[in-house]
Structure 1
């Protein structure tokens, strides 16, 4: 049996080989701290240096406990490994070795093989519910599932970004052992499992750190969620780094996606995070580290991080597909075709450029490999940040979406899907929470106020139609209708995804290592040609036309890999130009006279 000494994190309750459990709380603003166990007994904890309180006490896995702060309030453990019920309930001692892993030889998959499927655990029925989809996703061609945040949040319905106990898997989804069983089963299907983690803020309900550890926050720096977390402190850095290590080592997640790191106001923290995790995981495992970062800091992708979610790529494709130009799409609605060409050839669109607000962001990224960028047509943010949560299948034409999907799945960037994409699900994905009282009212009104500047919601009556995030019906409306999927599982969209992902597996992935851009050119409005020299010397070429008209183009059709038009579409022959709403993908062998350079 593995030794518990391999568990290196210092915060919270950690079971020891001796049969004792080590409890530790950093509470520099508390005069005294007691360990309050299930029978109501409060055991005084030893005050140590720098605000630490510790105690070793004999208790079994499953024991409920709280920390008694100055005899005034009992709080859950901020590093709780599980909660009895919700964020305000007692914490539970967890035995990290209780689960018996079946796929013990699993070491992961190379990053070049990544095809990511983002999902919301609650919308799919909890950890056990997600398990029921693993076989079909593997058969589709997905190689990794990405879970939206599962850290314990208030209530039973939430996107997960309101989490306040980052070490505790959400209790309404299942137990820690059920989460491990999901990961174990995914590995049995050859699927990696990625977790979205939030280290830039805590949610507004259930966080008590401000009472006994004010130093967790910087009152001189603000984020969209309040005071910034103070990553200058070792205790704070270790709290999050140890948490990330727990997910990778104890739960055997295969990767992490770090949410909104542009709100982490310490340039050294992310570097230390990557270095520490790589050291602790070891070189024998494939572990993926991804960023969401509005600052487009390309240098981080050379300092231990594999890739960044490429919001620039999504935004310009969305603007081209829908014609929308409000909110952040305003930065992509002008010169959209040129911006798409830059994305396909260099990764980021904004590389120090100035947006319409006069702000500059980004760093040069053209030297990075295409696999440093995660491309997507939809994700939780881009659907859910819409007032009515509409998906692209309701916002653009089917031929245009087919063409964009071909670009997504066959380009050398790493593709990501959102649950339901594969059958063009009709259900929205709305913003939902489970707050109560004044907080619920503030969230509801704040949500509606976000859209006051949009033409469609310019008056109070139209804004009142925006679904209440706290209503159970909002969550239920956001759950994919898998009864409908049963009717569509052999339909055109699922067949398209199967075909494209099989082509990616057989033709693109074996050539990805060493791939580099050969540039992209604008053919006409909404039409581009992009080319990449692949690792084996072949040239991948994608001709994309998202306009309503055929555009003049010298096409390479001898080595055509995929044509996005339905097979029965013969309205335009390719020697007349690039047809409307079409993607053509060619793979030209090394040494061929038509190298497309």
Structure 2
């Protein structure tokens, strides 16, 4: 099985030659520099510069030179073996032999996500090393590995959100073939693989597009990273195509099963067809017959992107990361109220609304944002929301990068863990969470420019001004290699207490999820209710065609009593929970029940 995504830009291998193409409307002349030679390219009226080179071969190294003498990388490079400033390499994607020809994916409701940063998930920090951990993930009960962005970014260390070559797996992690092997091996084990992609900005170093394609960006829209990407002005069609092809490229040529779109609330697009909608439509149209899953990060809580069709399938996007759920759990578990946690002053109420309806903020005023936030979401099924207790942002954007296990008590975290993994929303674990890893996940970069490095260090310190608990702490230097080294997982922990017990508990909960919860949630959703028998107690019911799931949880300091189980069967309960005519809950305990239709 060979897989190739054809696109109008980059280096395409075909018929014994290589076609090179770059959109450079701001310049009149572009020269191809390849294997020690230079060859002029032909420009058309739209600003495309092309050359068919019969002497080029897979493995050839090339760059482009624009008028004025500036040498630039291919913005659609499939691989730059020497980082973003070096030459690109001609890659023949058809050379990789896939073994997963029968793979069509898995239904979305079966998804259990595992978010991993390739560089710190293993001591080696490579695609190959992560491939060696797939058996661990499979045995744990993970059904989908989600990679933080791998698009090539400056240097050898970074989260991936500063990428500038969107089509190239980062050289520090390995080759395109090694990434494909990771996906292929995951499929062989029945696991999906997702990729986080960043379409709201380019990184601050190594982006040469303004030098030859000025209309790729626009001053009409400002972002936190500078001028906005031109999704809605003159020449926007080429810009939109660049990102649409990128999504299709990862899904087709690398056979990823899904994409997570970073911070779509930061994508400014005033056109009648928002690029986020176009992306989803073209993916759905272009890849029929496969289970493709599209997930948003969207601080605006826009339910419009998550609607279902008459059959209950996603019309555009499958789900959104729900920060609301995380923030409510986090405030319950830690009591922290700085920054955006201030919006969750009644965390049990907010958590109950999230679990029953999706968003906590569905059009209410957010004091932290200073504006109304969100849209009604109660009509959506729980599978339209991805829930988590931690992720790269919520850990890494703390001053010291502490994980939730370092911030709360084990009994409280045990209840939250069950609440995450047995609720009908799609659960996500952050790498190492399954054994309560002790390693922090800190913010790290590797910029060669000392001025940019200094700006990042200073900005990181200023960032915590809104979090009073962090103001006096010394923020780790993001440019120090030790900050990166501290963030690597220590896999030896899984054999030691208390980590081994947490791992066994996580595995048991995920087994219960697949056996008891998923058969219910894969049927049509009919609605949910949340009752609050006491201010610190929740009683949530989700009604599906094949049964009703129920979660009762008590966060107070004394015993609570709630309505009995009736004809429902127990799925899981905290130690000390008593089930009889009534359910008696001790402090920070809970239970999950099911009544099958």
Name the TM-score class by shorter chain.
over 0.9
- 1:37 paired with 2:42, answer no
**In 2, distance between residues paired with 1:113 and 1:253?**
16
What's the CA shift for 1:372? 0.4
Report the secondary structure of 1:242's partner residue.
helix
CA gap 1:486/1:158 in 2 versus in 1, 3 angstroms: same
Q: What is the match of residue 304 of structure 2?
A: 299
**In 2, distance between residues paired with 1:188 and 1:499?**
23
Report the secondary structure of 1:72's partner residue.
coil
- 1:509 paired with 2:518, answer yes
Question: Which structure 1 residue ranges, 4+ long, deviate > 4 Å from structure 2?
Answer: 569-576
Q: Map of 1:21-60 to 2, 5 A cutoff?
A: 21-39=18-36, 41-58=37-54, 59-60=56-57
Per-residue CA deviations over 1:208-260 (Å, capped at 9, x if unaligned) read: 01111111111121111111101120110010111111101100000000000
Bigger drift between 547-556 and 75-84 goes to 547-556
Q: What is the match of residue 65 of structure 2?
A: 68
Of residues 344, 368, 374, the one that matches 2:380 is 368
Measured on the aligned residues, the alpha-carbon RMSD in Å equals 1.8
Q: What is the match of residue 248 of structure 1?
A: 251
- State whether residues 553 and 589 of structure 2, in contact with CA within 8 Å, keep that contact through their aligned partners in structure 1: yes
Of residues 580, 584, 596, the one that matches 1:589 is 596
- 1:263 paired with 2:263, answer no
Q: What is the match of residue 391 of structure 1?
A: 403
**In 1, distance between residues paired with 2:498 and 2:79?**
37
Unaligned runs of at least 5 residues, structure 1: 591-597
- State whether residues 215 and 230 of structure 2, in contact with CA within 8 Å, keep that contact through their aligned partners in structure 1: yes
What's the CA shift for 1:12? 1.0
- State whether residues 399 and 565 of structure 1, in contact with CA within 8 Å, keep that contact through their aligned partners in structure 2: no
What's the CA shift for 1:358? 2.8
Q: What is the match of residue 285 of structure 2?
A: 279
Q: Map of 1:363-442 to 2, 5 A cutoff?
A: 363-436=375-448, 437-442=450-455
Unaligned runs of at least 5 residues, structure 2: 308-314
- State whether residues 64 and 84 of structure 1, in contact with CA within 8 Å, keep that contact through their aligned partners in structure 2: no
Of residues 90, 96, 101, the one that matches 1:99 is 96
CA gap 1:491/1:457 in 2 versus in 1, 3 angstroms: closer
**In 1, distance between residues paired with 2:516 and 2:583?**
28
**In 1, distance between residues paired with 2:68 and 2:454?**
32
- State whether residues 342 and 349 of structure 1, in contact with CA within 8 Å, keep that contact through their aligned partners in structure 2: yes
- State whether residues 565 and 580 of structure 2, in contact with CA within 8 Å, keep that contact through their aligned partners in structure 1: no
What's the CA shift for 1:572? 11
CA gap 1:521/1:570 in 2 versus in 1, 3 angstroms: closer
Q: What is the match of residue 595 of structure 1?
A: none
What's the CA shift for 1:155? 0.6
**In 2, distance between residues paired with 1:519 and 1:208?**
52
- State whether residues 571 and 594 of structure 2, in contact with CA within 8 Å, keep that contact through their aligned partners in structure 1: no
Q: Map of 1:314-325 to 2, 5 A cutoff?
A: 314-325=326-337
Q: Map of 1:159-170 to 2, 5 A cutoff?
A: 159-170=159-170
Per-residue CA deviations over 1:339-395 (Å, capped at 9, x if unaligned) read: 112111110111111100430121111111110000111100000010011111111
Equivalences, count: 577
What's the CA shift for 1:280? 1.3
**In 2, distance between residues paired with 1:243 and 1:237?**
10
Q: What is the match of residue 593 of structure 1?
A: none
- State whether residues 516 and 533 of structure 1, in contact with CA within 8 Å, keep that contact through their aligned partners in structure 2: yes
Report the secondary structure of 2:222's partner residue.
strand
What's the CA shift for 1:103? 1.9
- State whether residues 341 and 530 of structure 1, in contact with CA within 8 Å, keep that contact through their aligned partners in structure 2: yes
Q: TM-score, normalized by length of structure 1?
A: 0.94
- State whether residues 572 and 579 of structure 1, in contact with CA within 8 Å, keep that contact through their aligned partners in structure 2: no
What's the CA shift for 1:93? 0.8
CA gap 1:140/1:12 in 2 versus in 1, 3 angstroms: same
Q: What is the match of residue 9 of structure 1?
A: 7
**In 2, distance between residues paired with 1:517 and 1:426?**
39
What's the CA shift for 1:49? 2.2
Q: Map of 1:126-145 to 2, 5 A cutoff?
A: 126-145=126-145
**In 1, distance between residues paired with 2:70 and 2:403?**
46
Report the secondary structure of 1:491's partner residue.
helix
**In 2, distance between residues paired with 1:34 and 1:555?**
76
**In 1, distance between residues paired with 2:442 and 2:499?**
27
**In 1, distance between residues paired with 2:526 and 2:398?**
35
Per-residue CA deviations over 1:244-294 (Å, capped at 9, x if unaligned) read: 111011000000000001111125211111111111111x21111110001
What's the CA shift for 1:524? 2.3
Q: What is the match of residue 586 of structure 2?
A: 579
**In 1, distance between residues paired with 2:181 and 2:83?**
22
- State whether residues 370 and 517 of structure 1, in contact with CA within 8 Å, keep that contact through their aligned partners in structure 2: no
What's the CA shift for 1:490? 7.9
Q: What is the match of residue 352 of structure 1?
A: 363
Report the secondary structure of 2:20's partner residue.
strand
- State whether residues 404 and 583 of structure 1, in contact with CA within 8 Å, keep that contact through their aligned partners in structure 2: no
Q: What is the match of residue 594 of structure 1?
A: none
What's the CA shift for 1:530? 0.5
CA gap 1:67/1:350 in 2 versus in 1, 3 angstroms: same
Report the secondary structure of 2:482's partner residue.
helix
Bigger drift between 509-518 and 550-559 goes to 550-559
What's the CA shift for 1:553? 1.9
What's the CA shift for 1:573? 9.0
Per-residue CA deviations over 1:541-572 (Å, capped at 9, x if unaligned) read: 00012233222322327644344434xx5899
Per-residue CA deviations over 1:302-340 (Å, capped at 9, x if unaligned) read: 2411111111111111111111111111111x1222211
Q: TM-score, normalized by length of structure 2?
A: 0.94
Bigger drift between 552-561 and 49-58 goes to 552-561
Q: What is the match of residue 339 of structure 1?
A: 350
Q: Map of 1:195-210 to 2, 5 A cutoff?
A: 195-210=195-210
